Structure 1
Amino acid sequence: MSASETNLKNADQQTKINADLAEQLGYRQIQYLCAGGFGAVSVVQKNDDKKAKEIVMKRVSTTSNEYKDEIEIHEDLNGGMHPNVIALLSCEYVDDYAAIFMEYANQNTLLSHVDSNWTLKTIHGFFTQLISGLHYIHGRGYCHRDIKSENLLISWGTLKICDFGVACRYRNQHGTFDVESGYGTAHTWAPENFGEDDVNGPALDVWSTGVVLVEMIGGDIPWSQANALEDGEFARYEKNPKWTNKEFRIINRKDSRIMGLVRKILHIDAAKRSTIAQIQQNNWFKNFERPRNQMDTAAGTSAGRKRTYEETFQAQVLAMPEKRVKTLKQKCKCCQ
């Protein structure tokens, strides 16, 4: 049996298990999405209510204790009901499985929209939402450790952080402390995360937001990984802070203020890297205004009246299509 045939067979098995679990809990499976390292995910709907909203069911095994931390952290974060954190609805248990029910994001992942030709206003809107969500998470004493465009969902034009499978505490009643390195996804890791020493958790998340910002504007991440031993592009950046590439040049042409912010976020030294609070005080972050040579009049408005920031942002995000995962090869919404 070929690898592709094996994958399809496994997917069929996972689909059936999720459908059976949903049925036992009073739901019907609308669509099986995918399986990842932390669970198998489906879109489900209540059986006895045809008007019920579609929600996401993530099935995880209870045979190990790894799932408990994710649920505990998500439940704690859920207490604040932050608009930029995906909402946890409930958890139910059947045999060796836990079913985690979450709100459904109708516009899929940020990654699925990276090539959408967004205006800088739209990108600015999503980036400020990302920073707002992280500010809340860090304020509750947690770091996410896996911020990437696949783990950022768009629901009715609002960005929502999801997947707390590798999140952890960096602060308790005694104060802050470093966290274990090596968790998350290599292409958005900060350079210190490739080492063996414990690291500053919030600084890891900040670095990852910089990678996401570059990806949104430049169309791709700046390097395959921030490891000078494995990636020549990053090695050149590490030696020369003024180093540039295609993505950086695109950003600089669009607004040099953003490139200045990116370099502060992607500072090699975690101690000198911008903090969330410093990002929130950044000129571009606080006062978005496109440079004069990039001003344009939006279609459908008169030359004498340009659309406001809010009008432009809402028009862009509401025009985004609702997206489902069409094939098993596409990125998962909740468990990458």
Structure 2
Amino acid sequence: MSAQLHQERSGCLRRAMADAGLDLLVVPGDAWHSDYLRYALDLTPMEGEAIACIERDGAARVFVASHAEAARFAAEQPAVQVSCSADPLAQAEAWIAARGAAQAALVASGVAPTRLARGPLGAGMTAATAWFDRLMVRKSAAEADAVARATALADAGYAVFRDAARVGCSEYELIAEVEAWFRSQGCPENFVILGTGGREVRGMHPPGDRRIAAGDLVTTELTPCVDGYYAQICRTLVVGEPTDTQLRAYAVYREALEAGIAAVRPGATHGDVARAQNDVFRRHGLGDYVTSAYTRVRGHGVGLFVDGPHVLENVELVLEPDMTLIVHPNTYHPEAGYMVLGDTVRVTASGCDVLTGTTRDLISVPA
């Protein structure tokens, strides 16, 4: 993470705590859900759980169980006091109780140890997850620039994916080529799922041992990380020449994506973006396939976490300039199978910039 981004976020957090009248913020995190900790302290747990306590003036202490984690944290952020013990939760609880902060708040209660989130100490703290989420979703220009750099890497990574998708290649061999390329570019992490097959395929999954065959649809979402920020690309390719059925089905997805992107502008909501996409499927008699029986979301935020606020019709998050999200009408089509198509976009003063540069055509690779 760049020093500029870290300092920018730290200043924003201190100002927000002062505005909210918070004296102490308790922020847990682990290797899977580290976005809150990364926003606050630029620390990413790799082993076990970390519990951070951040005071209004920016002073911070982190409690961990691993000596290796403690040494790494201390080296990465010398200004943060790191405490290591066999029971970091008990140590954190004792420190918080002794501190006696008049206004304490807990972030990410779903990530926190149950005893901390639901016990007597947690009951005395304000629930601040939604408040913190608003801080993270309202990106600065520098944060949005980091997402743009990650999107460029996603485009380049998809070109590697496309070239590696060949008859006889297993799913895990395909992804191994892509992951090796991302690591060669200095990308520390990439979330990826894919699907291979035909009409029988209902979604995407981690790579398995199925081998690609002629005529397959090969779908994927690649989500690389740059400077701590993620971006995503979703695309579908056909091994061989696409059939008329595949082309006709895919045209609906392209129309839906373009409608969703056209709805992205300041003042619109995630619900508006979802509705614009879903209405396209409804006009084509495919309304059943935008329900939870066949699909999950119509996109989501991107940034410090791979799956930010969801783009669904009932999500009323209002878009603001420099917010970043992926718009993706990914769902099952009854005639062609599961198809995906998604671009990462950045909200501007009057609409949005499409950051993804890969063609939206149904891609064909030799069989």
TM-score of the superposition, structure 2-length normalised?
0.24
Larger Rg: 2
More strand by share: 2
More contact order relative to length (CA 8 Å, sep ≥ 6):
1
